[in-house]
A and B are shown apart, each in its own frame.
Chain A
């Protein structure tokens, strides 16, 4: 399989690469449009800040490229958020693939810690991305912003309020958690993504 990881200024790309290696899959880390377009699958990772990341993508026309992709695409963490309409993080217009909005977690009396950091359940699992993943499995999250629940929601998680821990529209998938750091559950989800039909 020909797999690309989109290279841009918001990575923890190494851990995604290593997770794929553990599954015996080699990926190319690239920002070359032709190479990305020719891939069977594309991973759009991301750790960082939304407006800086979007500006970088736009400068290199990667924003146009990503929305035009026809093969299965998996956004991870900030990658997923950038695939939504808009993010409250520095009032950023995003790629608009998913119709959901990205909002900031607001601490409450009961939940005082923002960002959310640690293992939480994923529930209401839909689509082949979650084949053989039991309801309420645990995955690892680190995030201060979240996508609301909408038509594209394929998994939900509860932190302060229920939100979308995964989204899907057509060939585009996004997960808020880090499958590359989510032990066996994460490995299953990555394998499921790799098994999706192009």
Chain B
């Protein structure tokens, strides 16, 4: 049976993980390779590396880093952050990334999606959507790391992107991100039930029960979290054991 996936996310700046981690087992908490390998050994199903480096020099560091990650990690991983051109994608895939994620650039020029999908295959193109529920109770797409609001509804953008050839959607709820109060179940379920691609839920996971909820009520195919794993508030083996006992299909 196809399992639900648990995906730790690592923020990268200039080749180092940014948010601190709190693991005794890790010698260098800033080393993305060591941390990624640790999560893989703990049973993470995939990894996401999100590059928040702004400079061009930093981008070169990223491709070298992706190459090192690919050498050391035996599970699939996605790389995102600032990807705009075919050349950006080619460099990352050639260095061993399994998938790339795009966000703002795809929104500003949706043909990006169809071009990438045609050239590299839908299976390796993930659309990241930063979503916020406004006072009118609708979910809107935000760009530029959540700084810029658009008037586009999340459901419309997601549908459009699937038609253009996106292979997977990483949905982050800005309302829930960082709260540890649980994932955005309604919008996640709305996308998961209506689209033929997997939905990765992100933002708000604080307890094992939140993950259970997002896989059942939220119908998510995968769930992503960062700080609760980095700060050992929830260990992946414990989380997976909990989900398994609750009857969720999970890789143990």
Contact = CB atoms under 8 A, between A and B. Distances in A.
A107 interface: yes
Nearest to A159: B2
A168 interface: no
A186 B73 CA distance: 12
> For A19, A107, A117, A158, which residue has the most chain B Cβ atoms within 10 angstroms?
A117
B75 A183 contact: yes
B3 A18 contact: no
A146 to B, nearest CB: 13
Contact of B5 (A22, A48, A119, A180): A119
A43 B71 CA distance: 18
Given A15-B96, A142-B123, A117 B75 contact: no
Given A18-B71, A22-B74, A183-B74, A118 B96 contact: no
Contacts of B2: 116, 118-120, 141, 159
Interface string A19-35: 10110000000000000
B70 interface: yes
Contacts of A151: none
B67 to A, nearest CB: 9
A117 B196 contact: no
Contact of A181 (B76, B94, B95, B197): B76
Contact of A12 (B98, B196, B198): B98
B3 A138 contact: yes
A21 B2 CA distance: 29
A164 to B, nearest CB: 16
Interface in B41-88: 45, 70-72, 74-76
Contact of A47 (B1, B94, B95, B121): B121
A19 to B, nearest CB: 7
Contacts of A15: 70, 96, 98
B167 interface: yes
A18 B45 contact: no
A186 B251 CA distance: 14
A21 B71 contact: yes
A158 B75 contact: no
A121 B249 CA distance: 10
Contacts of A115: 122-123, 167
A117 B196 CA distance: 11
User: For chain A, which range describes its interface: under 10, 10 to 19, 20 to 34, or 35 or more residues?
Assistant: 35 or more
Given A18-B96, A112-B196, A118 B5 contact: yes
A184 interface: yes
Contacts of A186: 74
A184 B94 contact: no
B244 to A, nearest CB: 12
A182 interface: yes
B168 interface: yes
B237 to A, nearest CB: 14
A58 interface: no
A124 interface: no
Contacts of B75: 140, 181-183
B167 A117 contact: yes
Interface in A40-60: 47-49
B78 to A, nearest CB: 12
A113 interface: yes
A41 B124 CA distance: 29
B222 to A, nearest CB: 7
Given A107-B196, A114-B196, 11 more contacts: A12-B93, A14-B70, A15-B96, A15-B98, A115-B122, A120-B2, A121-B1, A138-B251, A140-B76, A183-B75, A186-B74
29 contacts: A15-B70, A15-B96, A18-B96, A19-B74, A21-B71, A22-B74, A107-B196, A113-B198, A115-B167, A116-B2, A117-B123, A117-B198, A118-B45, A118-B221, A119-B2, A119-B45, A120-B1, A121-B1, A140-B75, A141-B2, A142-B123, A178-B76, A181-B76, A182-B74, A182-B75, A183-B74, A183-B75, A186-B74, A187-B74
Interface of A: 12, 14-15, 18-19, 21-22, 47-49, 107, 112-121, 138, 140-142, 158-159, 178, 180-184, 186-187
